[in-house]
Amino acid sequence: MNAIISASDLAHALTGPTPPVLLDIRWQLTAAKAAGEPPFDGRAAYEAGHLPGAVYVDLDRELASAPGTGGRHPLPDLARFGAVMRRAGVSSRTPVVVYDGGQGWAAARAWWLLRWTGHPDVRVLDGGLPAWEGPLETAVPAPAEGDFAPEPGAAGLLDADAAAELARSGVLLDARAGERYRGEVEPIDPVAGHIPGAVSAPTTENVGADGRFLSAEELRERFKGLGVSEGSPVGVYCGSGVSAAHQVLALAVAGIAAELYVGSWSEWSADPDRPVAVGPDPQ
């Protein structure tokens, strides 16, 4: 099953016998806001207009635990995550489509969490809300309680030690902007640079000018150029496990399985004993 869905295919699915549950995950990275702008309010954006029947899910509070030693967006408490999904109407046998404001990072985080915890049918709306040409609504729905019970998978998740090992034995992709990877700037975390051995692979290069994913073939060629070969283990990290989820999604579109280091650079750089590399090269 494809990990993404087009707006036209979603419109068709919503009229079918088993319409998907829709989750609105609008969110913005604090450091990406222009100086002087008020904090982005995803719930307010949702209430101003969302896909019909969509339920809002807060990334910071419901798709992550509080910031701490595990990074800025550590894994959520799974009991709480399950309760949030059930309140949103998510059931194990019902398809789910997640979307955000167009960047795709937040929606990918929800996609990855649901897939990692065992949901068999989750897709991301390609291009997010801007790609949708149908009506919007402001009414907040009250869906019937779902039955989804998270069961974490045995694979797909990296900790710091596993990420470091993968950088040596496989391919570890750094999904942040190139200047952060090279250590030229660091707007959020206390230390600039990258995990030794990691390859710079900015998430922004997985999409076209319209914000939609490149084709599967184009993505395969991109990752091949980054050193990903058939059968090679692949992992991804970013600043806090959000944009890296989008990279894992892009890899899935290309037919490549990958693991996510959720703690990412915000966890790695907080430990002064972990090595840091700078410059354009992995080492």
Question: Which of 238, 244, 250, 251 does the annotation list as catalytic?
Answer: 238
The domain segmentation of the chain, as residue ranges, is: 4-131, 157-268
Q: What is the mean pLDDT of each successive set of 10 residues along the chain, which is 283 residues long?
A: 94 96 92 63 96 97 95 96 98 97 97 97 98 96 97 91 97 97 94 97 96 97 95 95 98 97 97 96 89
Same CATH topology for 4-131 and 157-268: the answer is yes
Which conformational region is residue 159 in: left (phi greater than 0), alpha (psi within -120 to 50 degrees), or beta? beta
CATH hierarchy code of domain 157-268: 3.40.250.10
Is 141 designated active site? Answer: no
CATH topology of domain 4-131: Oxidized Rhodanese; domain 1 (3.40.250)
C-alpha 1/C-alpha 246 separation (Å) is 17
Q: Give the residue carrying structure tokens 């390859």.
A: 199
pTM of the model: 0.95
pLDDT for 30 equals: 65
Amino acid at 201: A
**DSSP secondary structure letters along 24-73:** E-----GGGSPTTPPPP-HHHHHHH-BSTT-EE--HHHHSS--SBTTBSS
